[in-house]
Amino acid sequence: MSPFPLPLDHGHLQKLVTADLVRPDHLLGAHPVTQDGVEGVRFAVWAPNAQQVSVVGDFNGWNGLDHPMERLDFGFWGAFVPEAQHGQRYKFRVTGVDGRTVDKMDPYGTFTEVRPNTASIIWRQPFEWTDDEWMASRTPGFDRPMSIYEVHVGSWARRDDGWFLNYRDLAHRLADYVTYMGYTHVELLGVMEHPFDGSWGYQVTGYYAPTSRLGAPEDFAYLVNHLHERGIGVLLDWVPGHFPTDEAGLAHFDGSPLYEYADPRKGYHFDWNTYIFDYGRNEVVMFLIGSALKWVQDFHVDGLRVDAVASMLYLDFSRTEWIPNIHGGRENLEAIAFLKRLNEVVHHMAPGVTMVAEESTAFPGVTSPTPFGLGFDYKWAMGWMNDTLHYFELDPVYRKYEHHKLTFFNVYRTTEKYVLAISHDEVVHGKKSLVSKMPGDWYMQRAGYRAFLAMMWTTPGKKLLFMGQEFAQGTEWNEAQELPWSVTDIPEHRGVMNLVRRLNALYAERPDLHVGDTWAEGQLWVIGDDSDNSVYAYVRRDPRPTAEGGGTWSLTVANLTPVYREGYHVGVPQGGEYRMLLSTDDGEYGGFGTQQPDLTARQEGWNGQTHHLRLNLPPMSVLILDHVGETPRSEER
């Protein structure tokens, strides 16, 4: 292992420009060092087209003449500043090829001033980790339960004065709540430093820095460490697809396009007013891969959800003018190569880390191994999300015409490894909260929403639900306010929270609901064609051999109209007694509490099965049943 920081010599700089140095932050940025017996800070930056670069900060009164940087090989600049020390602010004063002089944040800075200020801060504060046991056992967990609570750290909860919680305060409150609710993971957005609150953290200026809104880097480390100690995995949203145009950031860093593609037809997102990274430059690719490794290695993060992958894969994404690749196609071959390299390096350098793609197209092999696939562990099931929400937003009168929306996922669900994600994107910008999407009066909205949740938790795939939706938040999410926690004291909202707790518990406890998430044999449809009644039924099962602990199964039955159906026949593969694991109509969850007078299977076959149950299906509800045991043949009816 090379000493830290790495020396600014020809060999190490060459490794960076040839894409052989996966942690460029060990070379560039601000590093406290002792040089010739003198303590100070070594600064280094990449700006190949700059005419001049100086480091300015608290240590020299922001005077650009005091500490000019030396031009090194391959377009890098370096300087040693004896006066600089921990906690002081600094920037790089760059006179670009265009003749303009601009003060720039350190691309590799690990701590930043609180917005709207943008100076980087010299920072190296040690943190004593106590999560060794967790780190040694982390895994993508394809056959394990993964129920993810997506959290915007700036608005989940706030202090009484309206300011952000410190990461340490957030750690305890969030861990207590996530444990209570039964989630296995949290996914944090808005963590990486960003100048504009309204971007939710998706326009990043500090790819190596936790946002200072909630504290220092060691405070963020405390958050991750504490969640690990409580048995909770931590994923982060990570944005390698684009970056903001803010002058203090990466944009035109040395007076010319450097981190971004030069041609706006390839390098500018008109929808988002952001620049697109130039994946054809080794220094840019290593900057991004080093950022990923910073989070999963130094901050012990368990995985990254890579944002907007579709926008990276396709050169014509959301644009009318675009530049074809060398084969005349629409795929960004450089971005594809970057994503493959990213996943290879992360999985090699941080075994057990989970890489998730937010990818909305039918691009093949997103979760297939490299070199033929992109190498992600999971992909968000955007098609499932769109179809399911479309169905549940319909007036029940019209659902029979869209019956296939809830069965189509079964056609392709094993082509990738999926996360069923209901994220922040579905509850903003006029889309309404999830419960408000449901048709009907307040009771029917809640009944429909409870049914939606139960179907989500019993459909193959890992789960993700955005904060506030677990208690049926009635308003859209607003990043400037904390969640309306007071409504959880209202029985109608508390009932939905109780349901999510119960679904998480069942999902974690029962192998049939999670082991087969990525297996074709994990789900068997029993009723998928009763469009007239909008009734669905399917078996979830643990597809492993019985000798390996497999064989358990459960039955899910959904009645998705506001019509009570008495004695509805549902085929089952075994005779005997059944028990109700969950009914979304239970009074505990805000329903009527419809009773089932008989849960003994009849010997007569139905729906292609050997036996059947006669169930009372409450309006707009989902039932989950478990096979208890066989009835003696002489007692079968």
Contact 327, 275 (CB under 8 A): no
Residue partners of 67: CB distance under 8 A and separation at least 6? 54, 55, 56, 60, 79, 81
> What does the block give as tokens for 588?
């505990």
Class of residue 246 by CB neighbours under 10 A (exposed 0-12, middle 13-18, buried 19+)? middle
Beta strands 185-189 and 233-238, pairing class: parallel
- Can you list the alpha helix ranges (DSSP code H) found in 468-534? 491-509
Catalytically active residues are: 307, 358
Q: For 256-264, which contacts have Cβ atoms below 8 Å and span 24 or more sequence positions?
A: 256/49, 256/96, 256/97, 256/98, 258/46, 258/47, 258/48, 258/49, 259/107, 259/284, 259/287, 263/323
DSSP state, 525?
E
From residue 7, alpha-carbon distances to 44, 427, 429 in Å are: 10, 48, 49
d(CA 188, CA 239): 13
> Which one, of 142, 135, 136, lies nearest residue 367 by Cα?
142
d(CA 415, CA 632): 42
> Which one, of 611, 636, 613, lies nearest residue 625 by Cα?
613
- Element (H or E) spanning 479, and its range? none
From residue 52, alpha-carbon distances to 57, 95, 170, 245, 281 in Å are: 17, 5, 43, 22, 22
Beta strands 76-81 and 70-71, pairing class: antiparallel
d(CA 207, CA 110): 8
Give the Cα-Cα-Cα angle 329, 335, 336 (nearest 5 degrees). Answer: 75
d(CA 278, CA 274): 13
- Dihedral sign of CA atoms 561, 562, 568, 572 in order: positive
